[in-house]
Structures are given as C-alpha cells and as structure tokens.
A and B are shown apart, each in its own frame.
Chain A
Amino acid sequence: RKEVEQDPGPFNVPEGATVAFNCTYSNSASQSFFWYRQDCRKEPKLLMSVYSSGNEDGRFTAQLNRASQYISLLIRDSKLSDSATYLCVVNMYNIGNQFYFGTGTSLTVIP
C-alpha cells in the first residue's frame, strides 16, 4: 500500500470555480503535512504546510483530519495560473527526514 494516495484527476474547472483535492495517508505516525505545487516540466515547490487546526493562505485552505488520516486542499476563485499538479506530502521525521509524496492531482483552469 502506498504511503500517500491521491486522486490523479484530471480536474478541469472554469475560472472562478472552487475546487477541492483530497489525500489519504497510511501511517498514523506521520508528523507533518504539506501541499506542493508542480508546474509542467518544473520542480515541485512548497505551496503550504497543513496544520491540525486548518490553515488558510489567500485563496487556499488546507485541512488535516488525523483521525481519518485525511488531508484536503481547497482552492477558491480559481485562476488560470493555478493550473498545475498538486502533490500531497507527509513526513514522519524518520531516519533521513524522508518525505512521502502522493502521485499528484492535475488541475487545469479553463478560461
């Protein structure tokens, strides 16, 4: 079983729409959680950390449910520039501080 599972999509949404991505992780020992964004043919870049209380950064809201081992990302008022692949990431602070990446969810925002 994969450490992190995501719906690969693709999600095709019109500009201005609200879209939500979900992710589940298998290891209850996971300590920290992130969403990364990866543009086509580019490296992944940190979008935001995910905290137990939920957190918001502008149009982006991340939620964590430890009991269900579930992470979500909500994007409001989608922009064309939001088109990318969104990677769900968990860290167990194990040897090597390894991160475990989901395969990513593809988003295309359509004019």
Chain B
Amino acid sequence: NAGVTQTPKFRVLKTGQSMTLLCAQDMNHEYMYWYRQDPGMGLRLIHYSVGEGTTAKGEVPDGYNVSRLKKQNFLLGLESAAPSQTSVYFCASSRDRGYTFGSGTRLTVV
C-alpha cells in the first residue's frame, strides 16, 4: 500500500516554462488537495477536489490549474512558471478524518 505518491520529487524550471506535478493515491479517497509550503507561511491550499471530475480553488490558486480525471490521480499544472512559485508542494488525500500527505515536490523556478 503506497499511500500518496508524488512525482517528481525535485525540479528546476526556468521562468516561463510549464510543468505538471502528479499525485496518485491508492486508498480510494474522495478528497484530494494540493498545498504549497513556504518558510513562515505554513501550508496554503492551492486547489482541491471532492471527487472524480471536480475541482475547486483554495486560498492561493492563481498561476495554477488542476485536473482530476481519475479518482486516484490529481494533477497540478503550472502553465508559465514564475520565481514566486518556488516552493515545496504537497499533495494530500482524505476520506473523512485525517489527511495523508505525499512526500513533496521541491520546485525551484529560476
């Protein structure tokens, strides 16, 4: 049972490049989330999904898009990366109580 798997673990992008972060969970959880974590800011919700085919904006959605075509996968896209998007990105899933997090993606935009 792998839990929540994020890929890639590390990435360096140039300003203006695009990329997709993949989150996969094998626990049949309905809810999935993308957070970013920055020093002194804590975890901030980017987007979330309450089920297959649904997505919603969180606290800091600008510059990101998401898709949940399959229940087990939640993709986070950056269409045109900016240095302000340098951060650690965590995916999480839940069914009722408690979140399970992936191990994170460290993204640097130069």
> Which residues from chain A sit less than 8 Å from chain B, CB to CB?
8, 32, 34, 41-46, 49, 87, 91, 95-99, 101-104
Q: Are B101 and A96 in touch, CB under 8 angstroms? A: no
Q: CA A12 – CA B99 in complex, angstroms?
A: 28
Residues of B within 8 A of A32 (CB): 97
Cβ-neighbour of A97 out of B31, B90, B102 (below 8 A): B31
Given contacts A43-B90, A96-B48, whether A103 and B40 have CB atoms under 8 Å apart is yes
Q: Are B98 and A102 in contact, with the CB atoms below 8 A?
A: no
Write the nearest CB–CB distance from B53 to chain A, whole angstroms: 14
Closest to A103 in B: B42
Q: 0/1 per residue, B40-72, Cβ < 8 Å to A?
A: 111101001110000010100000000000000
Let me know if A95 and B56 touch, CB within 8 A: yes
Is the CB–CB distance between B98 and A34 below 8 Å?
A: yes
Residues of B within 8 A of A34 (CB): 98
A-B contact list, 14 entries, CB within 8 Å:
A43-B90, A44-B99, A49-B97, A87-B42, A95-B50, A95-B56, A96-B31, A96-B33, A96-B48, A96-B50, A97-B94, A98-B45, A101-B43, A103-B41
A43 and B40 in contact (CB under 8 A), knowing A96-B31, A97-B96, A98-B45?
Answer: no
Task: Give the residue name and chain of the B residue nearest to A102 (CB).
Answer: B42
Contacts of A45 in B (CB 8 A): 101
| Chain B residues numbered 25-45 whose CB sits less than 8 Å from any CB in chain A | 31, 33, 40-43, 45
